[in-house]
Structure 1
Amino acid sequence: MVARLGLSQARRLALSGATIGGHQALEIGLAHQLVEDAEMLEETLEKQLQSVRACAPGALAATKQLLLASAQVSSDEDLNQLLDRGAAVFSDAIQGCEGLEGARAFLEKELRSGNADVDTTNTADCQPRRDCPAHRAHGARRGLPHRRNLQRCRP
């Protein structure tokens, strides 16, 4: 709570036992959003959960680790190391199974909309892999077109 609110606000709330309303919680950064009623809360929560579920699990985990690590950065050297680590993690993710699955999903959407610039003659399957989070979560999609330079997941 201290990291989020600052020592002064956290101390005031913790030591006084003060209660605050939703508007004040939003104002001081304790809440991200304010909704009118329980129904709107359920709708807002479901939208947020859908957004999270749409993300690749491995990418989410890596992002969480990088964000937590960023709180420990205390020097330019630490920051440079974290940026290098983030670039490596991003590169691995985009070239890995989840990245390929994301690219395939994007191409499938573009193909349906008629905006895709794809090679539809190469519809080789992306074979399921037990060690690939994207395949565990969603299963391999079969028969989707690949961009000419898009590599398929390798067993």
Structure 2
Amino acid sequence: MTMQTSHETLRVEVDDRGVATITMDRPEVRNAFNDTLIGELSSVAAALATDDDVRVVVLTGGGPVFSAGADLNWMGSMRDWSREENVADSRRMNGMLRSLWDLPKPLIGRVNGHAIAGGTGLTAVCDIVVAVRGAKLGLTEAVLGLAPAVISPYVVRKIGVSHARALFVTGELFDAEHAHRIGLVHQLVDDVDALDVAVADTVRRCLKAGPRAVAVAKTLPDLALDDLDVATERTPGIIAELRVSAEGQEGIAAFFEKRPASWVPQSEEK
């Protein structure tokens, strides 16, 4: 049974396996961000993060576009804001991105169409991104006299300094194939039907992983890039704790007994 909750700018569905699908639902403006969407996406991410019944989260866009980034009409209204008001607003956007980046569950980007500017930033905070080949992406802020400042920490962590600098300074659009080559997208499909199949397969693979193990594993890439002395001091303790945890012991037992682990939904045990 699927449970659905509606918000002003989002639809959220959670199925009986604990798979939550967040759909940005402003198709009339290509799912562009405004203050309402930013606030709702932040609060939904925070709620899903603490819901033990939710195992996997899928983020997508309603209609033919994933997200066109910030709503330019909304941004235009900020011309009369003070610097402090503009900084506070930008911090709210970062709070949304950070809540998705820190989500202790697999976050799958279902990129059903173009993902521009902040929309590209949203793909950068997803753990796994599946996109249709016809999608265009772009860090286009510079052509508007702006810069991709708030999304840059996430984009650079995803694609590296070299690709980020090249794309930041041109502001050019690029196709999904290029996004795949630089690591922003992990899988390409031909159309929306194939997208649904690929996302469903990715969800099934994520559901076979232990929930606590996933939450810990998501922190490791950033930890691994920390100072080497810090990283190598902390990582032995992490694996030591997981080995003796109830989840770790259950996973090892399931392997030797050739059965699904207790956290695998019955519908995915085959």
- Report the TM-score, using the length of structure 1 for normalisation: 0.58
2:229 aligned with 1:93: no
Distance 2:251 2:171 in 1: 47
2:158 aligned with 1:9: no
Query: Aligned in 2, Cα 1:96/1:3: closer, same or farther, shift over 3 Å?
Result: closer
Please point out which of 98, 103, 117 is paired with 2:252: 103
2:230 aligned with 1:78: yes
Greater RCO, 1 or 2 (C-alpha within 8 Å, sep 6+): 1
SS at match of 1:6: helix
Corresponding residue number in structure 2 for 1:32: 186
The aligned amino acid for 1:78 is V
Corresponding residue number in structure 2 for 1:21: 175
Corresponding residue number in structure 1 for 2:206: 52
Query: Aligned in 2, Cα 1:9/1:89: closer, same or farther, shift over 3 Å?
Result: closer
Note the aligned Cα RMSD (angstroms).
2.5
The aligned amino acid for 2:241 is D
SS at match of 1:34: strand
Distance 2:161 2:246 in 1: 43
Residue segments in structure 1 that go unaligned for 5+ positions in a row: 111-133, 139-155
The aligned amino acid for 1:95 is V
Higher share in helix: 1
Deviation at 1:8, TM superposition (A): 4.0
Residue segments in structure 2 that go unaligned for 5+ positions in a row: 1-154, 265-270
Corresponding residue number in structure 2 for 1:114: none
